[in-house]
Structure 1
Amino acid sequence: MVRAWILPLSLLALGSLVAALLAVQEAHVAAAALLSAFVLLAGLHSPLAFPRPVGAAEAERRSAVDGRPVVYWRAGCKYCLRLRFRLGRDARRVHWVDIWRDPAGAAVVRMANGGDETVPTVVVAGRAHVNPDPAWVRGQLGSSG
C-alpha cells in the first residue's frame, strides 16, 4: 500500500521545494501556480482518484452476480487513469481491484499477461482484456444491466 503513495508524495515534495525556491525569489504568483499544478498531479496519480477498491475474490464474486467488469489497476498508471476518467460516472459501476493492495489481484493480472503486471486489465465473463478502449468497457456495463 505504501508504494501507491510514493509518486504522489514525491510530486508534492518536489512541488513544495520548487514553490519555496520561487517564493524566496519573490515570484509568489508563479510559486502558487506551480504548487497548485503539483497538488493536482499528485491527486490524479494517487489512489484517491479511483473508486474504493475491493479484493480480487470479492470483485470476482460480485462480477459473477451482476455481470459487471472487474478492472485490475494500480496507482500512478496513466492508462488506468485514462480509463477511469473516460468512464466518468460509470466508473463507480465497475469493480476496481488495486493490484498493489491485493496480492491475489496481482496474481490474476500476471496469469492473464504472461507474468507481467500490465494494467489496466479488465476481466469480463472470465476473459481478460489488456488496456481496452474505455468505450468498449462502458459498452460492457450497458450489457450487464
Structure 2
Amino acid sequence: MNRAQSTHAEAQKVIEEGGVVIYWRPGCPFCKALDEGLGEIGDQATWVNVWEDAEASEFVKSVNDGNEVVPTVTTKEKSFVASSSKAPKIVALAIEKASA
C-alpha cells in the first residue's frame, strides 16, 4: 500500500476533527480491495497499519469485540468493518461527507 501512514495518536485527532480513519494491515485482501476501490479519494482518509502501531491494534480490538478485524473504518459517529463489495462506495461517501 502506497498511502501515507499515520499513528493511532494522529488518527484520534483526525477523528475528533470529523475526518475518516482506515485501520488496515499488510496482506489483508479486504484492505487491498478497499484501497484499490477508493482510488484517489482514499488519499483524503488517514491510514493506520495495526501491525506497526500497538495502540491502533488495541483500538481496533476495542471496537470489534476483541478481534483485530480490518479494514476498520472510524469516523466521529461510528466504527465499522469495511469488508463487503460495497465498502469502497460507503467509505467514499464518508470521506466526501467529511470533506464537505
TM-score of the pair, normalised by structure 1:
0.63
Give the drift of 1:126: 4.5
Q: Which has the larger radius of gyration?
A: 1
Q: 2:67 aligns with which of 116, 122, 137?
A: 116
- Structure 2 residue 46 is the aligned partner of structure 1 residue 95: yes
Give the drift of 1:110: 0.5
1:104 aligned partner: 55
Q: Secondary structure of the residue that 2:4 maps to in structure 1?
A: coil
More relative contact order in 1 or in 2 (CA 8 Å, sep 6+)? 2
Deviations 1:41-68 (A, max 9, x none): xxxxxxxx23121111101102322x22
Equivalence map 1:1-145=2 (5 Å):
49-65=1-17, 67-131=18-82, 133-145=87-99
Aligned length: 96
What is the alpha-carbon root mean square deviation over aligned residues? 1.2
Distance 1:138 1:88 in 2: 9
Distance 2:77 2:49 in 1: 18
- Larger helix percent: 1
Conservation of the 8 A alpha-carbon contact between 2:14 and 2:20: no
Q: Secondary structure of the residue that 1:144 maps to in structure 2?
A: helix
Give the aligned residue type for 1:57.
Answer: A
TM-score of the pair, normalised by structure 2:
0.89
Sequence identity (%):
30
Unmatched runs of 5 consecutive residues or more in structure 1: 1-48
Runs of 4+ in structure 1 deviating by more than 4 angstroms, as ranges, are: none
